[in-house]
Structures are given as structure tokens and as C-alpha cells.
Amino acid sequence: MTDPNALAPEALAGAAYAFGLWTGWGALHSVMAARRIKTAFELALGPRYALYPFAYTVISLWTFWLVLAKEPDLPQVLWTLQGAPKYFLHLLQLAGIGLLGWAAVSVAGLKMLGLPQLVDVVRGRVPDERDIHADFKTTGAYALVRHPMHAGGILFLACQPSQTLGGFVFALFGCLYMVIGTVLEERRLRRELGYVWADYARRVPMFVPFLGNRQK
């Protein structure tokens, strides 16, 4: 196991470079998801805008692979836990994966990826129009926490019992990205849903279930 205080300057520089790559990917991902950008594409593409979620998924996966291919190898082991702590963290990771899967089922995750819309276009059917009120869900995983996908992702990334420098960089980026994304998404939903969102936020906590008063 490597002492984090004794990492070589080259390793730290590599970590900073890798974090920069992931930050660039996150910025692209966020810009493509911005309401103004999507509205501009909707006006430009017309009915073909139904394919935007699928294109967004493809571009996100492709650029994710590019970053994986370009980031430096950082194999230095920062920590390794054994025994009960290791198994406890693995249980938390499984809980995170379970929450992610539950959330995907709760909101028809395939639609988020754009697959049903793609099938509709290929078959000559008109895809359903986006309706924020119809798409807004408060059941299933979303009755437990307001952002179950982000909560599950953070739980999985943060509870790694054995971590390399490269893995730590990705986990740090991922957790920060999801926290910042949650804050921005909360603002957007509050603006678009108004009282419906305010009432939901009062009843359901952001990340941690059963956390008393839900929203400030």
C-alpha cells in the first residue's frame, strides 16, 4: 500500500491530468443535458429530436471510453481494507447498485437512454412528446430519496474497500459530479414543477432515507 503523502510528483501530476480529463467529460455531458441546448436542438431537428436522448447516450458512452483510453495508468494502491470493514463496504456497494437498479425501473430507464424513442422512429411511429409533469415520478425508489440514482452511484464509488490512485481520482470526480448535478437538477425541477416539487421535497429527503425534515 502506498503512503498518500509519499506519492511521486509524476503520480500527482498524472492524477491532476486524469481529473482534468474527467472534468472535461463531465462538462460536455452537462452542456448536452442543459435545457437551453436541448431546446435549440428541438427547434432545429423538429420531429427528429426524438432521437436526441439516444444520440446523447451514444456520445456520452463514446467520450467516456475516450477518456478511459487517454487517462494515465495510476496503479498506486492508496488503501486496502480486510475483514469485517471490507465486507461491510461491499454490502454498502451492493445497496448502491440495488438503489440504482430500482431507480431505473421506477422511471423506465430505457426511455432515459432513448431506446424506445429509437424503436418508434425506426417503426414509423410518433414518439411520445416530453412532458415533465407526466415523467415526474414520486413512487418506487423516488419515494425513498429524491435522487436515488445519484445516491446509489455515490454509495458505490465512495465505499470501495481497496482503492488505487486512478480509482480514487475517478471516484472523487464521480461523487463531486453527482453532488453538483443534484444541486443543479433541484433548481431546474423547482423552477419547472413549482408547488409539485416543493411538496415532494418537503416529504422526501435528498440522499439519505428517513432523514427527518427533508428540505431547508
Please name the helix (run of DSSP H) or strand (run of DSSP E) that holds residue 77, with its range, or none: strand 77-80
Q: How confident is the model at residue 7 (pLDDT cuts 50, 70, 90)?
A: confident
pLDDT score, position 124: 79
Enumerate long-range contacts of 142-145, CB under 8 Å, 24 or more apart: 142/103, 142/106, 142/107, 142/204, 143/204, 144/99, 144/204, 144/209, 145/204, 145/205, 145/206, 145/207, 145/208, 145/209
Separation CA 73–CA 48 (nearest Å): 40
- Residue 213, pLDDT above cutoff 60: no
pLDDT, averaged across the chain? 90
> How would you class 29 by CB atoms within 10 Å of its CB: exposed for 0-12, middle for 13-18, buried for 19 or more?
middle
Q: Look at the pTM and tell me if it is higher than 0.85.
A: yes
pLDDT per residue as tens digits for the range 30-74 = 999 888 998 999 899 888 888 999 999 999 999 999 999 999 999
SS3 207: coil
Answer yes or no: are the C-beta atoms of 76 and 7 closer than 8 Å: yes
Residue 5, classified by CB atoms within 10 Å of its CB into exposed (0-12), middle (13-18) or buried (19+), is exposed
Q: Where are the domains of the chain?
A: 4-203
Please give the average per-residue pLDDT across 77-98, as a whole number. 97
- The answer to whether the CB of 214 falls within 8 A of the CB of 204 is yes
pLDDT band at 3 (very low <50, low <70, confident <90, very high): low
Q: In which residue are the cell numbers 487517454 written?
A: 70
Structure confidence at residue 134 (pLDDT): 75
pLDDT of residue 189: 92
In this model, does residue 141 exceed pLDDT 70?
Answer: yes
Strands (DSSP E) found in 86-172: 162-164
Cβ burial of 155 (10 Å; 0-12, 13-18, 19+) is buried
What is the reported pLDDT for 49? 87
Question: Residues in the chain, how many?
Answer: 216
- Kindly indicate the confidence band of residue 2, based on its pLDDT and cuts at 50, 70 and 90: low
